[in-house]
Chains A and B, each alone.
Chain A
């Protein structure tokens, strides 16, 4: 899979101004300091943010083009974006929160029972959202997003609240998804340590730009 594009968006803290051409058949890490534009870049890919101008093509399909006024909304992009500060719906139980992600499709590669078992969520399903820890919250979000059967997965510091064992388990899980179902994964982190075994290539971000590819 090939992601090409150019994003320009001026925010309060920095300006994202970058051209890119990324082959992401495997797992790609985006590394950069806090405030370098990594999260904004991912949000532009998933469609949660609309750049002021630029374009985005995934496998030659145009998702955004400011010149031709094309913008495919995030709910139509099939991008599984695990946000940095995700939100669980407080009016729903854990079980119903996870079920929010379920999408009826013939091409399911993740099933409900598999994901809740693998992410140790079985015991949590009857709990309310107020009674779960940060790590559990993060795993519920991952389950939710994976049940949407995304065609690309964007992980924004998504293992940060997990203990070492769960972190390893999640890395194995996503690596298997990538290898078995050929789902490209972009993993954002602010440090390069501990992820070398997980990722296949690394992109560095600095001051709103990709500095090497």
Chain B
């Protein structure tokens, strides 16, 4: 075990954590707006767009991200001016890709939880002279906590298991873009089955813990 390099695991956990935090903060207002909008056509269009990563092969998503994030594009240039680094073949690029890749897993559970909130709850908060922001923080979020926790767990787990998209935009650079799924793939390629078994077992244990938490939350 002492000979096994756990850097890919730490990198995966790091990318998953950062992506999940950013994605949940982004998803809370977006899911609220989607749950409250009365413009059905607009709502369906946005929902469909958000759900695209669910059906697209990760390699397709990775290919377009590779095009969008490369240093010759506006996004790539802006990022380079701000940070002095490139987005493709970097940890930052993987975080950006992971955020896009896991968007439906974050927004959908939260939106479903928000849609369950009845109008009389919102009315009661307004009558108690709550501002929209105060109502959102003190009433809506606590009442939707199951949906939010589900979103956190699903986003984290989904990001942890990504492979195709990572390979497309990150490649396989140890310590930088070699996440656990890529390290497992490489260990098989190099016939290092001890490493494959160890890393796979770690992924199974993490996945088992995540799913146990998820099922417990949903049964409450």
Contact = CB atoms under 8 A, between A and B. Distances in A.
Contacts of B126: 47-48, 73-75
Interface string A93-106: 00000001101000
A32 B128 CA distance: 27
B143 A83 contact: no
Given A85-B120, A87-B120, A87-B121, A74 B143 contact: no
Most buried by A among B124, B127, B143: B127
Interface string B88-123: 000000000000000000000000000000101101
B81 interface: no
B124 A74 contact: no
Nearest to A86: B124
Nearest to B143: A91
A145 B127 contact: yes
A148 B142 contact: no
B128 A101 contact: yes
A43 to B, nearest CB: 8
Most buried by A among B128, B139, B142, B143: B128
A75 B130 contact: yes
A48 B127 contact: yes
A91 B143 CA distance: 7
Interface residues of A, number: 26
A75 B124 CA distance: 10
Nearest to B142: A91
Given A90-B143, A91-B142, A83 B128 contact: no
Given A89-B139, A90-B143, A91-B142, A83 B129 contact: no
B131 interface: yes
A169 to B, nearest CB: 23
A156 B116 CA distance: 25
Given A87-B124, A148-B127, 17 more contacts: A48-B127, A75-B126, A75-B127, A75-B128, A79-B127, A83-B120, A83-B123, A86-B124, A87-B123, A88-B124, A89-B121, A89-B139, A89-B143, A101-B128, A103-B129, A145-B128, A148-B129
11 contacts: A73-B126, A75-B127, A75-B128, A75-B129, A76-B129, A80-B127, A86-B120, A87-B118, A90-B143, A100-B128, A145-B128
